[in-house]
Amino acid sequence: MIFVYPYKRKDSDFCIIHSVKLLNKYYPNSAIFTIGDKVDGIDNIPHDDSNIIRGANVTSKLLLASESFREFVYMNDDFFINDRIDFNRVYCGSELLERKEGKASISWNQSVDNTKHYLSHNNLNTITYECHQPVLFNSELLRSTMSQIDWRNNDHFVKSLYFNINPPTNPMPIDNVKLIEPNINRANMFLSMFGCFSIGQGFLTEQGANFIKKLI
């Protein structure tokens, strides 16, 4: 299996280092790549950010990966998984919806609006696949999907576009598995139920960081 992280270096590589350690623990024969910035010990495909829009840089990196691999799992550096996750199962939420002021960035809500507008205009479902979970992409389908869309100049959600344009069979409802605070019980519940959870910066207290280290 191939795992791909579109990566832009932050103040610390803690998350991606421990995310990759979990991949090596549960999927030891996999190939793992960052696309963008290099992290020591992880294979890298260089890619400079050339777009003003952050999401466009992510999509550009995924499309670059699609040129090298027939299929791959799209990971973020703050995704943590175990062997309970089923990569042949597509996880989804309900409807793409804006979040209240203070609960999401302007870019997030603009991505909701743009993605919903495109899907509604083309009489497609507007289900959210933005539950902060890894997904398996078919490279040919990804390139075909994004070739229809002006993704370089507009905020967008690549996962929700991909799966609403190419509907999966029986997608499985999932909670949004991103944890903003170090709720260890909830992290364990998500790992048990779905095989994954994601974190916000607020999770990385001493308690939260130690919990992640003990998963390895």
pLDDT for 206 equals 97
Element (H, E) at 44: strand 43-45
Residue 174 contacts residue 92 (beta carbons within 8 Å): yes
Question: Tokens at residue 156, please?
Answer: 């967008």
Per residue in 19-65, pLDDT (tens digit) is 999 999 999 999 999 999 999 999 999 999 989 999 999 999 999 99
Distance CA 79, CA 100 (A): 24
With H, G, I as helix, E, B as strand and everything else as coil, classify residue 181. Answer: coil
pLDDT for 102 equals 53
Distance CA 216, CA 207 (A): 15
pLDDT for 108 equals 86
Please, which residues have CB within 8 angstroms of residue 21's CB and are 6 or more apart in sequence? 216
- Under-70 pLDDT residues of the chain: 100-104
DSSP per-residue string spanning 131-155: SS--EEEEHHHHHHHHTTS-TTSS-
pTM of the predicted protein model = 0.95
Q: Among positive and negative, which fits the CA dihedral 99, 114, 119, 61?
A: negative
pLDDT for 106 equals 81
pLDDT for 103 equals 59
pLDDT for 10 equals 83
